[in-house]
Structure 1
Amino acid sequence: MRQDIDQLHVKGSVLVIKNGKTLLKYATANKTDTSYLINSVQKSMTAAMVMQEVQKKKLKLSDKLKKFYPDVEGSSSVTIANLLDMTSGLDIASGEYLGTTKFVSEHDNMQSNIKKTVFDKAMLGKWHYTSLNYVYLCGILSKLENKDYEEIFRKTYIDKLNLKHTEFLWADKKKLQESHWVPGYEKKDGKYVKVSYKDAVRDAHNELGAGSIVMSNDDLAKSIRYILNGSILTANSRKILFKGEAPSYYNGGLYNLKDYESANGAGEGYYTFMRSTRDGKDMIIIQANHTAEGKFSKIKKKVNHIMSMMMQF
């Protein structure tokens, strides 16, 4: 298995867990406790926090977006379940972008998104991937708890699980260093170029709840196990969140494949690949801070193959 993983030629950290025990833990670059921007893998954590609100009876999956953001086009038709499953029919208008060019506050970002959101009624109930869905879920969480998303996330994951190498990308320099964070690099004209930290932080704010957290492999594994098999959700809540209706393969921030759960992150010079059985006992996590155009999809398919092989022994 190590040979197969090494042939991926990723510059980063590897963690493989089998039957709840560490099988492989090593680094091809950096260290085993290095933290990386996990990008879209964060969506599963946001989804679990939303489901907690359902458990508290503060929220219903059938609630309409209009209840929280009545000025959003199509909000009277879109449900919380649609947002979780990426079947809302919402998107940012063509030629526009998520968030703002310069971060001022979550409120300003949300107001900007509201103005730029368009609704395609024909796409309601059909899968279309856009982080906008999860940004709205973050806003709903903040309204329900009367707290910023960051504060809710810290209490739910960082504090609860005593995560040592997890931080928001926009944290002060000392906190980032303590999390063992490394900058991201993108390959351009045959050379790896460091991604602008300022630009990455702006994008992280714009992707609130969907791409703003840096994590080590151990912390990510602990968080995924907590979501799949811990006390954050009841068994029934997990069944609803991860076994929802169309499309059946994507629910609650995870791709619910036939034999395991999958999540991937890419952007700002980082890759994150997470594969886990539904009980969280078998898991592969591979993270890197050197990326190149055209490599993500190829690596993703190979990681799927490695996970399938691991489950056979």
Structure 2
Amino acid sequence: MKFLNFKKYIIIFFFILICSVGAVIFKNRTTQTIKPTISSNTRVGIPVVKKSKYKGVLKKKFKRVRFSGTAILIKNNKIVDSYTSDWANINSKNTLSTSYEIDSLQKVLTAGLVMMQVNKGTMKLTDKVNKFIPELPGAKDITIRDLLDMSSGLTLKKMSFSGDDLSSAELLDDVVDNVKYDPIARKNKKWSYQPVNFVILSEILEEITGESYKQLFNQTYIKKLGLKQTKFAYENNERINCASGYMVKNDSEKVEQKPNGATIHSELGTGQVYMSAPDYYKVLSNLLNGKILGKNNATKLYLPGKAKYQAGLYTSNKPFYRFANGYGYGFEDHVRISQDGKEAVVVFSNQKRIGRNDLKMKVDQLSNEFLGEK
């Protein structure tokens, strides 16, 4: 009878042992499956979440507008959805690391370079322009802040340039000779979208630092943040796959845009940089969250006051987020981003459809849904 009881205990012991081992194995497998699935693609530059409830959102939103380009959704500083479609050029398709000309989205980055100099004490936002470019019309009235917010009273009709090159000095001479100044508009802080404001800011940056805009941009953004897919439009860099820009008429006629070198140089500080969508997000988020400028200075530069446009960014109030749009040379670019930089919608396209605003409408719709989440 005792032997039977002993045998019974042995069986129970082995049963418990097997169950324990099984539980450990199950626990390990379970732990492995619920670990965050985040990749660290070095070409992308920011974390990519492989499994997310947002997967497929971008494709669903943009597939009906014949989207050509790269789009990303950012949540908590990570890519939670991405969508690429169509061709970058005759040799390659658009991918997550394809670079696009960012056009006017460059202005917010130029504003960051200006604030860097404010931090160093080489200029103040209240400085008058005549301290740096006395020959500019209205220079004794216009401040650095006026230029940043496009309330300077300056207007300049689009100029045409020919040739392969244009120096900063030549560009400044052309601006001084052709720009118009309205003192009443400046006094009343009347807003007018005029890219010339950021050309002048870029000229001032070169004047006070003794360095080119490109050098300042490279030091502050490309080197500091380790950007892999960013270059200037006039720069040869075969490592970076740049999309060609196309104007599209009647949804069928595609014409590649090939601006000459002088025209590209004339976009100083306002639209002469190629970036991938992840690279652009990385820079803008670090500007807004204060990692580049410091939180107080980032707030001072970018947070909206009475102006609807400050330092390259517009403001949406319901829901609250910052945004900018870029158009030119066959490209159409949009960014919508939370003030802390943690959430964003970035959409870069290498096709601009003449007379159509479908893509922007879809971006705005998506941004109101995504950035308005509680």
Q: TM-score range by the shorter chain?
A: over 0.9
Please state whether the residue corresponding to 1:260 is helix, strand or coil: strand
Deviation at 1:84, TM superposition (A): 0.1
Please state whether the residue corresponding to 2:225 is helix, strand or coil: coil
Contact 1:64 1:75 in 2 (8 A): yes
Aligned partner of 1:18 in structure 2 is 75
Deviation at 1:4, TM superposition (A): 1.6
Aligned partner of 1:109 in structure 2 is 171
CA RMSD of aligned residues (A): 1.6
State the one-letter code of the partner of 1:71.
E
Report whether the alignment pairs 1:66 with 2:125: no
Aligned partner of 1:153 in structure 2 is 217
Distance 1:87 1:98 in 2: 21
Aligned partner of 2:331 in structure 1 is 270
Residue among 276, 290, 297 paired with 1:237: 297
Contact 1:15 1:26 in 2 (8 A): yes
Deviation at 1:245, TM superposition (A): 4.0
Aligned partner of 1:132 in structure 2 is 196
Mapping 1:1-313, distance limit 5 Å: 1-2=57-58, 3-29=60-86, 30-92=94-156, 96-98=157-159, 100-102=161-163, 103-124=165-186, 125-172=189-236, 175=237, 177-188=238-249, 190-196=252-258, 198-199=259-260, 201-247=261-307, 249-258=308-317, 259-296=320-357, 298-311=358-371, 312=373
Larger CA deviation: 286-295 vs 136-145: 286-295
State the one-letter code of the partner of 1:260.
Y
Deviation at 1:202, TM superposition (A): 3.2
Distance 2:114 2:75 in 1: 29
Deviation at 1:100, TM superposition (A): 3.8
Distance 1:23 1:130 in 2: 35
**Cα gap change, 1:310/1:245 in structure 2, threshold over 3 Å: closer, same or farther?**
closer
Contact 2:288 2:299 in 1 (8 A): no
Give the number of aligned pairs. 303
Distance 1:67 1:230 in 2: 28
Please state whether the residue corresponding to 1:139 is helix, strand or coil: helix
Distance 2:160 2:144 in 1: 20
**Cα gap change, 1:292/1:109 in structure 2, threshold over 3 Å: closer, same or farther?**
same
**Cα gap change, 1:157/1:228 in structure 2, threshold over 3 Å: closer, same or farther?**
same
Deviation at 1:300, TM superposition (A): 2.0
| 1:152-187 Cα distance to aligned partner (Å, 9 max, x none) | 001111111111110000002xx0x31210111112
Asked which structure has the greater RCO (Cα within 8 Å, sep 6+), the reply is 1
Distance 1:291 1:266 in 2: 8
Distance 1:20 1:158 in 2: 19
State the one-letter code of the partner of 1:115.
D
Distance 1:101 1:115 in 2: 17
Distance 2:366 2:233 in 1: 30
Distance 2:61 2:304 in 1: 33
Contact 2:316 2:323 in 1 (8 A): yes
Please state whether the residue corresponding to 1:167 is helix, strand or coil: strand
Task: Give TM-score, length-normalised by structure 2.
Answer: 0.78
State the one-letter code of the partner of 1:178.
R
Identity, % of aligned positions: 32
Runs of at least 5 residues in structure 2 that lack an aligned partner in the other structure: 1-56, 87-93
Distance 2:339 2:254 in 1: 36
The higher radius of gyration belongs to 2
Contact 2:290 2:298 in 1 (8 A): no
State the one-letter code of the partner of 2:274.
V
Contact 2:332 2:348 in 1 (8 A): yes
Deviation at 1:244, TM superposition (A): 4.8
**Cα gap change, 1:212/1:271 in structure 2, threshold over 3 Å: closer, same or farther?**
same
Runs of at least 5 residues in structure 1 that lack an aligned partner in the other structure: none
Please state whether the residue corresponding to 1:233 is helix, strand or coil: coil
| 1:34-64 Cα distance to aligned partner (Å, 9 max, x none) | 0000000000000011011111111111111
Task: Give TM-score, length-normalised by structure 1.
Answer: 0.92
Deviation at 1:246, TM superposition (A): 3.8
Contact 1:98 1:113 in 2 (8 A): no
| 1:236-294 Cα distance to aligned partner (Å, 9 max, x none) | 212221235442x2101111222111011110000111111111111111111111112
| 1:80-114 Cα distance to aligned partner (Å, 9 max, x none) | 0000000000112xxx5347433331111111111
Please state whether the residue corresponding to 1:231 is helix, strand or coil: coil
